[in-house]
Structure 1
Amino acid sequence: MIENETIKHQLNHRSIRQFKPASLSTEQLTTLYEVARQTSTSMFMQQMTILHVTDEKKRAAVREICHQPYVGANGDLLIFIADLHRNQIIRQQAGNDDGRLHTTDIFLQAVEDTVLATQNVLNAVESMGLGGVVLGSIKNDSQKLIEVLDLPQITFPILGLQIGIPDQEPQLKPRLPLSLMAFENDYPKTMPMNLMPDYDRVVNTYYDLRNANQRVDTFTNQINSDKLNQQVTKRDEIVAALHQQGLALDLNV
């Protein structure tokens, strides 16, 4: 396998959830913003915006939505937003209507821009000797978050990123074997699930030995848990929140 400094950081990725009581410098933040700005963008529409949340009331509100005590605590909180509003203004100033901005296709392209930028920034964070954790939990109540951040129409918060100086050294979390994730040309008709017991044992050992939140668990147990069981949550209201924002209005077609 090829190895260089960039790949070393990527292969050593660990989610950091405890940070020292310090904020990033203006130089560090600017560097991360520039990394996000140079991220690949679908059709060169650049439909992504970052909000650096420093207001303590807003940080506390985001923390409540996420149900995670480290969110908006030490370090810096970034919210990555799928942003079609900026391009809407550009079209309106030219005397054009919104065109396809309200379609699922264009919204998904904005989501792609936003997710790519989030990962790019996290890679840069780790290359700078800092740590971070991606926050999908901001979508626990999308409509409330939109109100907290006072976001305009045809924008939508996709991911959060809590970053800062690490105050923990968690173990590397074991991933699925490559033979279950990477294939040549065709998706296998029969997945080699006989590999799962060995992987479950590795995951179980990881949870048993890790420093924080020790528990006995396996990967297959998690997939068969409430994570995917039939249940109603606030996340099931995401489509309604999208429509309220004027996004993906053709989803019911």
Structure 2
Amino acid sequence: MQSMDDTIKMQLNHRTIREFTDKAISDEIISRLVQVAERTATSNGLQACSIIRISDQAIKNELADICKQEYVARMPELWIFIVDQYRNGQIAKEKNCHEESIGDMDRFFQGFTDACLMAQNVVTAAESIGLGTVYLGSILNDPSRTVKLLKLPKLTFPALGLGFGYPNQNPKLKPRMDMKLRMFENSYKCFDNYSDLIKEYDQIMKTYYDLRDTNNRVDSFSNQLITKLKNINPIRQKIINVIAEQGFDLMISDK
């Protein structure tokens, strides 16, 4: 049997990296990663997402405060992927087209999906050349503040952040749930007793040490789930309001 492709081996070894060396990433590598972002698949070919590369330390510091993760301020590279229907809206206006559909929910989710696909593509490329990466959904801890900080115009919205650089830590692979609970054929499969099905996974999780707290093993998955459900961020619960403030139409049909 042919040996496993190196890219797949790298993907199966994916770990979140939060600490990086001082080694600078060359302009050539950055240029290549930008090319990878450019060539990412995009809904309808409309390329409705953009990247903001953060080089200003003051902005990094404020993003770290928004994220409540101090290491964000020390990211060698910090990119924010955004939904971007502003650009296409302006192009349309310059062609004397003023269709309100540029800000509908379909367009929003096209841009959001494009941004997530682009970020994943960059991660795969970055890790293939020895860089470490960390996704930052925490930029949405206060989306209104992130919008103002990045001076985002209407019809844009921050989807996620990505930090990367040369790794300065070697975390264990974090255990994952069995795919029999996450992959089905032809239709969704419901199980009678999930607690029994994840019992072994719960025990495995207790052997994992997160490098953010090396003195304590993590809790079982089921207990983590409960803790996170109880740990509510009232600002994040109102993200949809910020999406509306950014000009996207959230009208729900009564049909």
Range into which the TM-score falls when normalised by the shorter chain: over 0.9
Counterpart residue number, 1:171: 172
CA contact (8 A) 1:23 1:76 kept: no
Counterpart residue number, 2:35: 34
Kindly provide the amino acid, as one letter, of the partner of residue 249 in structure 1.
L
Question: 1:24, CA displacement in angstroms?
Answer: 1.9
Structure 1, residues 50-79: CA drift from partner, whole Å, max 9, x if none? 111001111111110000011131411000
Counterpart residue number, 1:228: 229
Gaps of 5+ in 2: none
CA contact (8 A) 1:40 1:116 kept: yes
- Aligned-pair identity in percent equals 40
Distance 2:10 2:188 in 1: 29
Counterpart residue number, 2:217: 215
Gaps of 5+ in 1: none
The alignment partner of 2:133 has SS state of strand
Distance 2:210 2:103 in 1: 48
Distance 2:212 2:54 in 1: 31
Q: Relative to structure 2, which stretch is displaced further, 6-15 or 188-197?
A: 188-197
TM-score (norm 1): 0.93
CA contact (8 A) 2:208 2:218 kept: no
CA contact (8 A) 1:170 1:211 kept: no
Distance 1:211 1:238 in 2: 29
TM-score (norm 2): 0.92
CA contact (8 A) 2:205 2:218 kept: no
Distance 1:208 1:133 in 2: 14
Q: How does 1:104-253 map to 2 (within 5 A)?
A: 104-190=105-191, 193=194, 194-207=196-209, 212=214, 214-225=216-227, 227-229=228-230, 231-251=232-252
Kindly provide the amino acid, as one letter, of the partner of residue 92 in structure 1.
K
Question: 1:164, CA displacement in angstroms?
Answer: 0.3
Structure 1's 98 and 15: CA in aligned 2 closer, same or farther, altered over 3 A? same
How many residues were matched structurally? 252
Kindly provide the amino acid, as one letter, of the partner of residue 54 in structure 2.
V
